[in-house]
Structure 1
Amino acid sequence: MDPHGETLLSWPAPPGSERTEEQWAVIAGQVRHAANKLGAPLPACLPGEPRECGRSAQQHALAWAAEVKARSHHLIEVYAPSAEAASYAAGSLYKERLAALRVPTA
């Protein structure tokens, strides 16, 4: 696994295939690493780590992705120069970026 997350596995899996638990574990670790870069370090509980919680690697990837989203939104709220700028970044700009990500690539 790339410890810095610069080589993130593509999301989602190619059509007609499923990710393995090992692939999800790599993705979960990379997403958690991204979340750690946005704030205080997160606790270790991925499968095979100390204090393992018993959830699947896919569940961890989704949980860490939610953490990234929450931390990103918090950064917008705290550091935007005005309430209007925060509202724009967290609302209109976010929706625009999300819509662009949803467009299938050929």
Structure 2
Amino acid sequence: MDPHGDHLLSWPALPERQRTEDQWAAIAGQIRHAANKLGEPLPLCLPGEPRQCGRSAQQHALAWAAELKARSHHLIETYAPSAEAASYAAGPLYKERLAALRAPAA
């Protein structure tokens, strides 16, 4: 999988969002699995992903999440019954769902 975002981000660890490398690897695998269900199968970086290519599991999780977001958006554009429906799903509906995820649990 390439790119991993190396050209843009230095990937500092955020203390308030610390996860272990194994936790990030599990998340990366789950995201890749979800993305595979939305299109052509995705290749692994290398047989020892994520460590063998030299990038962290966190980098893999975020890169696969970007792939999943792109595949989801493509699915909306391709299969919406109209341009208006696609615009609504990719715009206001998406923002509503994202806001709900960001809201603190009551």
Interval of TM-score (by shorter of Structure 1 and Structure 2):
0.7 to 0.9
Q: For the residues of structure 2 that align with 1:46 and 1:23, how far apart are their CA atoms?
A: 19
What is the match of residue 6 of structure 2? none
Q: Secondary structure, in 3 states, of the residue corresponding to 1:25?
A: helix
What is the match of residue 92 of structure 1? 92
| Unpaired runs of at least 5, structure 1 | 1-14
1:38-94 deviation digits (Å, cap 9, x = unpaired): 1101111168249x4221100000000011100000000000000000000000100
| Unpaired runs of at least 5, structure 2 | 1-14
| Identity rate, percent | 85
What is the match of residue 24 of structure 1? 24
Q: CA 1:46–1:56 in structure 2 vs 1: closer, same or farther (change >3 Å)?
A: farther
Q: For the residues of structure 2 that align with 1:53 and 1:21, how far apart are their CA atoms?
A: 14
Q: CA 1:84–1:17 in structure 2 vs 1: closer, same or farther (change >3 Å)?
A: closer
Q: For the residues of structure 2 that align with 1:60 and 1:35, how far apart are their CA atoms?
A: 13
Q: Secondary structure, in 3 states, of the residue corresponding to 1:77?
A: helix
- Paired positions, count: 91
Q: What is the one-letter code of the residue matched to 1:92?
A: P
Instruction: Tell me the TM-score normalized by structure 2.
Output: 0.78
Q: Which has the higher contact order (CA 8 A, sep 6+)?
A: 2
Instruction: Tell me the TM-score normalized by structure 1.
Output: 0.78
Q: For the residues of structure 1 that align with 2:90 and 2:23, how far apart are their CA atoms?
A: 31
Q: Secondary structure, in 3 states, of the residue corresponding to 1:45?
A: coil
Q: What is the one-letter code of the residue matched to 1:85?
A: A
Q: For the residues of structure 1 that align with 2:65 and 2:49, how far apart are their CA atoms?
A: 19
What is the match of residue 37 of structure 1? 37
Tell me the C-alpha RMSD between the 2 structures: 2.1
Structure 1 runs of 4+ aligned residues shifted over 4 Å read none
1 or 2, which has the higher helix percentage? 2
Q: Offset at 1:17?
A: 6.2
